[in-house]
C-alpha cells in the first residue's frame, strides 16, 4: 500500500489480486442482493484508492481494508437493515463436475447459508472476518471498533451455532 | 482462540468459498486505481511550480507589509513626539528667534565654535540627533515631513544643551539669588516665563547648535542618508526626552547670561540680556545679578 501511495499502480494490482475474492465474499455474504454487494465491494475499493494518502502502516493492510468494508456495511445496514445474501440466487461455479457431489454441496451450502442467515449480524461479521480475511480476534476487534472480549465472544457463538447446524445435517 | 475455532466448520466454509467478483468490476477498480496513481504523479510537478509562486508571492507580501507597518509606526510615533515637544516650547517662536540671530552678522553663530561645551558626553550623545539637522537651506530643500523631523531634532538638542549648561558652579549662585528676589513677584514671573524660558534658552544656544551642526556636517565625509539617520535620531530623541528637565526659568537664564559675561562673550550676553528684558519686561533683576549680567563699564 505504501508503494501504491507513492504512485506505483502495480503495487495496487498485487494488493487487489490478493484480497479481491476474499473481500468480495465477505461483502456478498453480508448482503442479500448480489448487485448491491458488487456496488458495495466497488465502493470499498474506491475508498481504499481515495484514502491511500492517509494510510498509515500502523496495522496490517488487511485490517485496514476490512475496517473500511465494515464501515461501509454499517452504513448499508443503517440505511436499510441487514438482508443476508441468498446463495441460491446465483449459480456458483463448482469445481466438482460430479452432479451428486454438486447437489450435496448445494445442500450443504444452503444449510450453511441458512445457519449464517440466522446468526446475529455482529456474530456473522466476526465469523466472516475470521474465515475470509483471516483476522485474529484482536484484529476483528480493531476492524469492528469493539473490544477483544466482545469479538472473541461473537466469534465463539457464531462457531457454535454453525457447528450445531452442520451437526444437525 | 483455539476454543472458538472448529476445523469442521472452517472446512465446510472453505468448500463453499467459490464466489469471485466479476471481471468487469475488477477492470473498473483497477482503472480507477491507475488513474489515481497517474494523478498522484501529476501534482508532483504542477504544485511544485505553484508552491514556488506562492512562496515568492508570500515573501513579497510579507516584505511589503513589514515596510508599510514600519513606515506607519514611524509616522505615528513621530507625530506623537512632535506634539509632546511642541507643547513645551512654541516651535514657531524658537524658529523666529533663531532666524533673528542667524540673520545678523556677528551674531553668536560666528563666535560659537570657539566656545567650550560644558558637558562633552552630552554633546556626544546629541551629536547623532543633530546630524539630520542640516543648515537652514538644506532643511528648506527637504520635504515638509523631513523638515519637521529636523526641527524636532534641533529642539531636543537645544533643550539638552540648555540643561547641560547648568553647571554645578552656577548652582550656588542661584541659591544666593533666590532669597534676594521679591517673594511675591518671583512666582508670578516664574509662571509667566515658564513657557517662554525654553524658547529664550533655545535662542541662546541655537546659534551654537547651528554651528555645531555645520561642523559635523562638514566632518562627515558621506552624510548619512535620511533613511539611516532617522532611526538613530529617533533613538537619541527618546533619550533626550527622557533626560529633559523642566524648562529654564528667568533666574536660570540670567545665570546663563552671567556665565556668558564671565566667559567674555559680551556680544552674546548683551543680546541675550536684551532679549531677556524684552521677554520679561516686568521682571526685577536684583542688583547683585545686574552686576553679573550687565557689561562692566
A119-133, B183-197, B269-283: range with lowest mean pLDDT: B183-197
Q: Most B CBs within 10 Å: which of A6, A8, A25, as the mutation test of the B interface? A: A25
Which cell numbers hold the place of B197?
524660558
Q: What global pTM score does this model have?
A: 0.40
Segment 191-230 of chain B within 8 Å of chain A by CB? none
pLDDT of residue B239: 52
Give the tens place of pLDDT for each residue, A62-91.
888 888 888 888 888 777 655 444 443 444
Which letter, b or e, does each residue of B272-289 get, where b requires 16 or more Cβ atoms within 10 Å of its Cβ?
bbebbeebbeebebbeeb
Cβ–Cβ under 8 Å, residues B78 and B149: yes
- CA nearest neighbour of B202 among B172, B233, B244, B230: B244
Of A38, A45, A152, the CB nearest to B22: A38
pLDDT of residue B173: 44
Which cell numbers hold the place of A115?
445457519
Cβ–Cβ under 8 Å, residues B165 and B118: yes
B31 touches chain A (CB under 8 A): no
Predicted confidence band of residue B149 (pLDDT cuts 50, 70, 90): low
The listed range with the strongest mean pLDDT (B10-19, B30-39, B163-172, B252-261) is B252-261
Helices A121-131/A61-80 angle, 10° precision: 150
Number of H helices, E strands in chain A: 8, 0
Residues 6+ apart with CB under 8 A from B240: B125, B126, B129, B156, B157, B159, B160
**What is the mean predicted confidence (pLDDT) over A128-155?**
88
Cα–Cα distance for residue pair A37/A30, rounded to 1 Å: 8
Which cell numbers hold the place of B2?
483455539
Cα–Cα distance for residue pair A25/A22, rounded to 1 Å: 5
Q: How would you classify residue B99: left for phi > 0, otherwise alpha for psi between -120 and 50, otherwise beta?
A: alpha
Query: What average pLDDT is seen over chain B?
Result: 63
Predicted confidence band of residue B167 (pLDDT cuts 50, 70, 90): very low
Of A24, A105, A152, the CB nearest to B19: A24
Distance from CA of B12 to the nearest CA of A (A): 8
Predicted confidence band of residue B130 (pLDDT cuts 50, 70, 90): very low
**What is the mean predicted confidence (pLDDT) over A138-165?**
88
Distance from CA of B50 to the nearest CA of A (A): 20
The listed range with the strongest mean pLDDT (A40-54, B94-108, B229-243) is A40-54
Q: How would you classify residue B93: left for phi > 0, otherwise alpha for psi between -120 and 50, otherwise beta?
A: alpha
B80-89, B94-103, B159-168: range with lowest mean pLDDT: B94-103
B18 touches chain A (CB under 8 A): yes
Does residue B203 have a pLDDT over 70? no
pLDDT of residue B214: 47
Cα–Cα distance for residue pair A135/B1, rounded to 1 Å: 11
Q: Which chain A residues are closer than 8 Å to B22 by Cβ?
A: 38
**What is the mean predicted confidence (pLDDT) over B1-24?**
73
Angle at B52 between CA B49 and CA B55, to 5 degrees: 150
Give the tens place of pLDDT for each residue, B54-67.
778 888 999 999 99
Q: Which chain A residues are closer than 8 Å to B27 by Cβ?
A: none
Amino acid at each position: 500500500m505504501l508503494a501504491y501511495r507513492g504512485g506505483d499502480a502495480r503495487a495496487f494490482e498485487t494488493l487487489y489480486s490478493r484480497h479481491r475474492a476474499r473481500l468480495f465474499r465477505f461483502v456478498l455474504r453480508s448482503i442479500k442482493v448480489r448487485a448491491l454487494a458488487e456496488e458495495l465491494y466497488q465502493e470499498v475499493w474506491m475508498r481504499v484508492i481515495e484514502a491511500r494518502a492517509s494510510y498509515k502502516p500502523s496495522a496490517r493492510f488487511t485490517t485496514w481494508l476490512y475496517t473500511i468494508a465494515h464501515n461501509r456495511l454499517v452504513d448499508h445496514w443503517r440505511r436499510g437493515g441487514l438482508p443476508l445474501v441468498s446463495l441460491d440466487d446465483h449459480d456458483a461455479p463448482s469445481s466438482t463436475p460430479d452432479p451428486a457431489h454438486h447437489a450435496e454441496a448445494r445442500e450443504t451450502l444452503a444449510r450453511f447459508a441458512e445457519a449464517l442467515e440466522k446468526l446475529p449480524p455482529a456474530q456473522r461479521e466476526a465469523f466472516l472476518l475470521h474465515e475470509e480475511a483471516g483476522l485474529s480476534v484482536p484484529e476483528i476487534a480493531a476492524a469492528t471498533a469493539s473490544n477483544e472480549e466482545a469479538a472473541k465472544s461473537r466469534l465463539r457463538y457464531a462457531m457454535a451455532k454453525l457447528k450445531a447446524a452442520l451437526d444437525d445435517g | 482462540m483455539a476454543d472458538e475455532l472448529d476445523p469442521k466448520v472452517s472446512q465446510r466454509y472453505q468448500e463453499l468459498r467459490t464466489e469471485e467478483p466479476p471481471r468487469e468490476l475488477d477492470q473498473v477498480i483497477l482503472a480507477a486505481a491507475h488513474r489515481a496513481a497517474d494523478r498522484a504523479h501529476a501534482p508532483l510537478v504542477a504544485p511544485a511550480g505553484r508552491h514556488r509562486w506562492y512562496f515568492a508571492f508570500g515573501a513579497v507580501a510579507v516584505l511589503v507589509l513589514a515596510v508599510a507597518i514600519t513606515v506607519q509606526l514611524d509616522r505615528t510615533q513621530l507625530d506623537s513626539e512632535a506634539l509632546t515637544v511642541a507643547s513645551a516650547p512654541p516651535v514657531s517662536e524658537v524658529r523666529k528667534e533663531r532666524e533673528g540671530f542667524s540673520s545678523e552678522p556677528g551674531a553668536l553663530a560666528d563666535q560659537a565654535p570657539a566656545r567650550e561645551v560644558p558637558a562633552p558626553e552630552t554633546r556626544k550623545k546629541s551629536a547623532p540627533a543633530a546630524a539630520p539637522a542640516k543648515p537652514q537651506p538644506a532643511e528648506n530643500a527637504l520635504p515638509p515631513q523631513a523638515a519637521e523631523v529636523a526641527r524636532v531634532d534641533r529642539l531636543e538638542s537645544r533643550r539638552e544643551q540648555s540643561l547641560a549648561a547648568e553647571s554645578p558652579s552656577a548652582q550656588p549662585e542661584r541659591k544666593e539669588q533666590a532669597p534676594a528676589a521679591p517673594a511675591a513677584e518671583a512666582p508670578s514671573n516664574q509662571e509667566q516665563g515658564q513657557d517662554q524660558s525654553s524658547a529664550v534658552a533655545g535662542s541662546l544656544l541655537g546659534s551654537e547648535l547651528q554651528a555645531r551642526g555645520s561642523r559635523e556636517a562638514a566632518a562627515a565625509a558621506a552624510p548619512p542618508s535620511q533613511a539611516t539617520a532617522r532611526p538613530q535620531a529617533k533613538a537619541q530623541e527618546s533619550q533626550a526626552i527622557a533626560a529633559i528637565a523642566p524648562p529654564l526659568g528667568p533666574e536660570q537664564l540670567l545665570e546663563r547670561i552671567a556665565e556668558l559675561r564671565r566667559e567674555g562673550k559680551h556680544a552674546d550676553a548683551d543680546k541675550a540680556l536684551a532679549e531677556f528684558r524684552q521677554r520679561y519686561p516686568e521682571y526685577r533683576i536684583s542688583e547683585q545679578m545686574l552686576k553679573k549680567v550687565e557689561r562692566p563699564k
